[in-house]
Chain A
Amino acid sequence: MSIIQKTATEQLALLNSGELTSVELTQAYLNQIEQVDGQVGAFLRVETESALAQAAAIDQKRATEAPLGKLAGLPVAIKDILCTKDTPTTCGSRMLENFQPPYNATVVEKIRAADGVILGRTNMDEFAMGSSTENSAYQTTQNPWDTARIPGGSSGGAAACVSADMAPLSVGTDTGGSIRQPAALCGCVGLKPTYGRVSRYGLIAFASSLDQIGPLARTVEDTALLLEVLAGHDPLDSTSVKQPTPAYSETVKQPLENLTLGVVDRHFGAGIDPEIETAVQSAIQVYESLGATIKHIAMPHADYGIATYYIIAPCEASSNLARYDGAHYGYRTDQAEVVAELAEDGSDEGPLVRMYRKTRSEGFGEEVQRRIMLGTYALSEGYYDAFYLKALKVRRLIRQDYDAAFEEVDMIIGPVTANPAFAQGEKTSDPMAMYLEDLYTVTANLAGVAGISLPCGFTSSGLPIGLQLQAAPFQEEKLLRAAQMYQAATDFHTRRPELS
């Protein structure tokens, strides 16, 4: 078994026992990227030199017996939405093609402080808007299990690189399912923490009240390790919550007793792929065999999740993305063209307004522009009450559904997606079909609760299927332990895609 096929936890043991150096491990991943990323396209940029330099510095530190951080030389891939100081951070957009932030995101600081090695930056839908990573301005990412298919999104690169053994650990972001859905479609584990669990400072905002940063890895244990590094209150993010971070990696293997799982009947039946339904039902039976009690619960407002999400998220996005106007940083349209155009069309639009218009039309892709327009419309005078305000009310009802459910059950169990990975290009001309990819995931973001996706089977054509568990706010510790119970009883997470 090659070193990159081992789990991060196993690699960590080898690093700590001196049988493996961080440079060797990093080099092994760089080699794998070299070999397979041509087919997958998970990385936008591989930071070979700086990764090896970081690894060497960590090895040096270990040699002097200085205390090492929790990651102790493990490589980590970072979604290109997290600011890293003085290196490009594009957010998958032309708008930020040449943008280099003057500061690090808090989670980047935390990974560095934990002696993680940053391997490179993973591909994503532009500004995290999309469910297939096809909205990246730079490249598509292929699903390692079938390269004709999409990896999911928006953290498609983050999931694909883990799935194809190009990184043991990966950081993504989840606004409506952007970690859990690609994790499900790529057959790895992905966790969306409770809103406020992880600092958003340095996460380029899509929808601030929904965005959360979270870990992706091959196993639940590895996921627990990375979450432990990422989580924690940050004085730079006033929405991050002052809650102590449990030692997830230490407790993850402790099974939960008297576990009660809630099943929402509406998650099954019409609309869901029968193979997925079967796999998820089998997973529920696994839990029953492990002693869990299954309860049927109602989430009466869950049906409005997608509609609510696609009002709130674009509203916030329309404001969050106003800063990309060409005036201060990032892409700016050609000045001479602005002047020439104005002279030619004789418009009384001022050069400033024309500069804004051209910059934003040229710098943003179609989906981003669509959502900015949706959000601008929904916040406009005369529409605000009917759309934004109504959506906020429904959001509160959805949160109440969760609160009521968690009175009765410890966790909610169900599918992550209704269908396995679809073909590249299949839904690009049908935004509504694409939006429905988030059907089972958005409500966790709207309510701010935690959710995890883990492998629970394969379709007959060999595509991964994901199982979702959702827990009450700040119950990640239990969520991970419950997920680990399932993983210990199954072997879906051990299967690897075959790339030539």
Chain B
Amino acid sequence: MSEFSYEIVIGLEVHVQLKTKTKLFCRCRTEFGNPPNTQTCPVCLGMPGSLPVMNKKAYFLSMRTALALNCGIPKFTKWDRKNYFYPDLPKGYQTSQFDLPMSEEGYLDIKSTKDEFEPRRVRIIRAHLEEDAGKSMHDEAAGKGDSRIDLNRTGTPLLEIVSYPDMRSAAEAKAYMQELRLLLTYLDVSDCNMQEGSLRCDANVNLHITTDDGVIATPIVEIKNMNSFRSVERGIEYEAKRQYDVWQETGKVLGELPKQTRGWDDSAQVTRSQREKEESADYRYFPCPDLVPVIVTDQQIEEVRQEIGELPSALRERLQNEFGLTVYTADVIVNQGLSLVEYYLELAAAAGDNKLAGNWVQGEVLRILNDQEIEIEDFPIDAGRLAELLKLVQAGDLDSSKAKDVFAAMLTSDSSAADVIKELGIEKVDEGALEALCQVLVERNQRIVDDVKSGNEKAVGALIGQAKKENPNVNPGQVRQICLEIINNL
């Protein structure tokens, strides 16, 4: 069979656990990792007669997120029941939002730092609030073993953010997830821990294949269980190849097969059909009669909008345009999170050199954070202390290798840059003495002088080495410059 080119079409449904102390409809705590069924009450256990009461904090965190995603906020929103039976859903329905979600029609811009794809605006259909289900751990095989249910997570507020099928590659999907996670972190609305499940992603994927008879679409598959950015990328790549092969084999196109749900198996690096979910479900949505609709005013929406600080995309632009950082440096700093940005801004202001501060944060500071696996909050040199060092570098009092020595020493002490310089015996060499030293070296090394004269400027490097032996405090750049001047004047 001949090969055809195709385009991958991807839409993502992202579930974000909101950072509230208590659950969406009861006052149980939402902490992760406590012993099973210790964070429950009659409401989240679905006991007869218990009633839900909405946690306003969850609604306002959702609104903050939706506004940051450029969504519109309807003034009226309501709750609906999504009915289905499953042991981790004690009420037999999930309280969610069906036809009147709390927000709709927004977008998130993504771009590649490695030029893997053109910048893209991914449109968002809606973001709605719902309650999480519990966790069940069981043996899928019939008649074997007991199932265990942990309802600690039941009722945790979840914001479901649904995108349009606007992404065209696994790399774009991964970038969308990364940018979304970054945004959520800036908004401080979620822990965004994919391993713990506070950020979860399902992907709807199919292919548009260009055949000799025009473009056909393959049946849409929903991929679940992608618990890391890498698995989002791998899962979609695998699924695209699989769908292409299945199409080659069967010729089935969209509409000829029901929507299928497949789970990503990270250890085997394949997607597998999830049999029980294949039947087309009728969730019998209807408005939840136990909850009153939510009505908001323009003023409340405006207040929430005011809470939103500067977001990643705006910060990247500001660091480039106002601070003169390169696209790359601005990206690296912003993508690390708001605290590093704040550290950078403080450092740049104190040091009086935006670019130098940018290079140091992107270089030395980040290297230490990565090596020591710490956050900027735990970084031992505060911005003020580092700024003193940068001022010395900027004034030409320290060369970069000396500066790095001083920086290394400052990591393990509370001393100022100036004190460390004294401790290390680094002193600025008097210019007259330096010129005298260079004069001596030039006279001593006729061969190097000849090499330089014949056009090999690099040969002067040997003189720098000798100068450092004579006086470790010399600035290599200055030595080089002075020696070249002397030789050229000979």
Contacts and interface: CB of A to CB of B under 8 A. Distances in A.
Contact of B48 (A96, A381, A388): A96
A208 B289 CA distance: 6
Interface stretch (B12-20, B90-98, B161-169, B374-382): B90-98
B53 interface: yes
B52 interface: yes
Contact of A236 (B45, B48, B51, B90): B51
A83 B49 contact: yes
B284 A379 contact: yes
Contact of B90 (A237, A328, A356, A388): A328
B23 interface: no
A238 B291 CA distance: 6
A209 B53 CA distance: 15
Contact of A101 (B48, B147, B284): B48
Interface stretch (A59-67, A195-203, A396-404, A486-494): A195-203
B181 interface: no
Interface stretch (B81-89, B100-108, B428-436): B81-89
A325 B92 contact: yes
Given A96-B48, A327-B87, A376 B284 contact: yes
Interface in B233-288: 276, 282, 284-286
Contacts of A318: 83, 284
Interface string A2-37: 000000000000000000000000000000000000
B292 A328 contact: no
A103 B284 contact: no
B48 A350 contact: no
Residue in A202, A327, A353 whose Cβ sees the most chain B Cβ within 10 Å: A327
Give the interface size class of chain B: 20 to 34
Contact of B93 (A96, A103, A322): A322
B50 interface: yes
Residue in A318, A339, A342 whose Cβ sees the most chain B Cβ within 10 Å: A318
Contacts of B276: 350
Interface in A68-84: 82-83
B83 A203 contact: no
Nearest to A99: B48
A167 B465 CA distance: 107
A26 B183 CA distance: 65
B437 to A, nearest CB: 83
A293 interface: no
Contacts of B45: 328
B142 interface: yes
Contact of A323 (B91, B285, B290): B91
A238 B292 contact: yes
Contacts of A315: 286
A342 B54 contact: no
A235 interface: yes
B46 interface: yes
B53 A238 contact: yes
Given A328-B149, A339-B143, 13 more contacts: A99-B48, A202-B49, A235-B53, A239-B51, A239-B291, A316-B286, A319-B83, A319-B284, A322-B93, A352-B87, A356-B85, A381-B282, A388-B286
24 contacts: A82-B49, A83-B49, A89-B48, A91-B48, A96-B48, A99-B48, A102-B42, A103-B42, A103-B50, A105-B49, A202-B50, A204-B49, A205-B48, A207-B289, A208-B289, A316-B289, A318-B284, A319-B93, A323-B48, A328-B46, A328-B87, A342-B143, A351-B142, A381-B282
Interface of B: 42, 45-54, 81, 83, 85, 87, 90-93, 142-143, 147, 149, 276, 282, 284-286, 289-292
